[in-house]
Amino acid sequence: MQPVRKSFAALSLAAAGMAMAAPAFADGEVNIYSYRQPDLIQPLLEEFEKETGIQTNVLFLDKGLVERIRAEGANSPADVILTVDISRLTEAVEGGVTQPVTDDEIINKDIPAHFRDPGGNWFGLTTRGRVVYASKERVAQDEITYEELADPKWKGKICTRDGQHSYNIGLIASMIAHHGDAKTEEWLRGVKNNLARKPDGGDRDQAKAIMAGECDLALGNTYYVGLMMTNEKEPEQKDWAAAIKVLFPNNGDRGTHVNISGMALAKNAPNKENAIKLMEFLSAGTAQQIYAEQVYEYPVLPGAEPSDVVKSFGAINPDTLALSEIAANRKKASELVDKVGFNDGPEQ
């Protein structure tokens, strides 16, 4: 019989947002606090349960994960933290809610050194490119750079989500690392003035806006294109994907900005042994294949191939900029977004 995945409401008072959480010590469980959307991790957890018999319990949060674990204190039920980019992983470490995993041969063998914290506090699981969605109908060129997004020729033609979203903060932080504060500020003002409207929605909404003719270019993550192309529940998303082509910025020079999804062992994990088993599973071949085939991300396991859907976007040349350097610039990036009034949209 397939194990049943419980919600945290059945596990502890922590699910009600209370600091005095009751720990979950059941031998056959592992408790996951996740910034990752439930539908993205469900195939992985189902396979883990099938292989191990260990039940997975997931608490999804769209914000406040670190604060939640800190409030729960020593009795937190959290075993494994799953999150969506280097900034969130760094926040977890700086917030004191992780513990190192330094001597696990499986994890250290399967995840390359540049995709894991030197101190063992976090591990990258997949990469995704922060790319440009371009209208197939209205954009003739097949190459672009991030710098070009500030070119006045694109005035009124760019869409994006909130400038303070972690996906955009990562990109802006990488621009600071490459060009410095002053040039990045100038660039960000240029992009702001090229916006078709105020930043709004998610990455998929930007593809929808391109199809509707509201803009010609948009910033978006690669994996959303795969999710749209194969969406049977909301088939209209296939039309959004069909309206765009993926351009890999700077593919011919320094490379396209990539970020990671990742994992960390929670500081007070009550089911530590099962947590390590899950982390080993997520770093190994079966999970990496699921990430590639069902989540449309680039696996970090050496030799693992992306899916045919992802290959159809074209070849990516990833920027080799250290993710730790990107994370170090995220505060400056956030400050620049506010300084230039990016979320106010284009100046009239």
Q: Rounded distance, CA 325 to CA 323, Å?
A: 5
> What digits encode the pLDDT tens for the residues 168-190?
999 999 999 999 999 999 999 99
Q: What pLDDT does residue 27 have? A: 59
Q: Which domain holds residue 335?
A: 127-257+311-344
Same domain? For 253 and 265 the reply is no
**Does residue 24 lie within any of the structural domains?**
yes
Q: Rounded distance, CA 158 to CA 135, Å?
A: 11
Structure tokens at 49: 């349960």
Structure tokens at 21: 């959480």
For residue 52, pLDDT over 70 is answered with yes
Q: What pLDDT does residue 25 have? A: 45
Structure tokens at 318: 């990833």
**What is the mean predicted confidence (pLDDT) over 145-165?**
98
> What digits encode the pLDDT tens for the residues 295-343?
899 999 888 899 999 999 999 999 988 888 888 999 999 999 999 999 9
Q: What pLDDT does residue 347 have? A: 85
Q: What pLDDT does residue 65 have? A: 95
Strand segments, DSSP code E, in 136-228 are 158-159, 217-221
Beta bridge pairs of residue 80: 32, 265
Report how many domains make up the chain. 2
Is 227 in a helix, a strand, or coil? helix
Q: 208, 321, 195: which is closest to 258 by C-alpha?
A: 321
Same domain? For 112 and 141 the reply is no
**What is the mean predicted confidence (pLDDT) over 233-259?**
97
For residue 19, pLDDT over 50 is answered with no
**What is the mean predicted confidence (pLDDT) over 4-25?**
41
Structure tokens at 256: 């396209």
**Does residue 293 lie within any of the structural domains?**
yes
Handedness of CA 342, 329, 93, 29 (dihedral sign): positive
In this structure, of 105-109, 144-148, 336-340, the range with the lowest mean pLDDT score is 105-109
> What digits encode the pLDDT tens for the residues 115-127?
888 899 999 999 9
For residue 9, pLDDT over 80 is answered with no
**Does residue 1 lie within any of the structural domains?**
no
In this structure, of 101-105, 154-158, 179-183, the range with the lowest mean pLDDT score is 101-105
Q: Rounded distance, CA 323 to CA 173, Å?
A: 10
Q: For residues 307, 309, 310 and 313, what is the CA-based torsion angle, rounded to 10 degrees?
A: 150
Structure tokens at 294: 């069902």
| Count of CA atoms in the C-beta half-sphere (13 A) of 111 | 29
Q: Are 318 and 129 in contact (CB under 8 A)?
A: yes
> What digits encode the pLDDT tens for the residues 281-303?
999 999 999 989 988 999 998 88
CATH of the domain at 271: 3.40.190.10
What's the mean per-residue pLDDT of the chain?
90
Q: What pLDDT does residue 98 have? A: 98
Q: For residues 306, 245, 230 and 307, what is the CA-based torsion angle, rounded to 10 degrees?
A: -10
Same domain? For 315 and 290 the reply is no
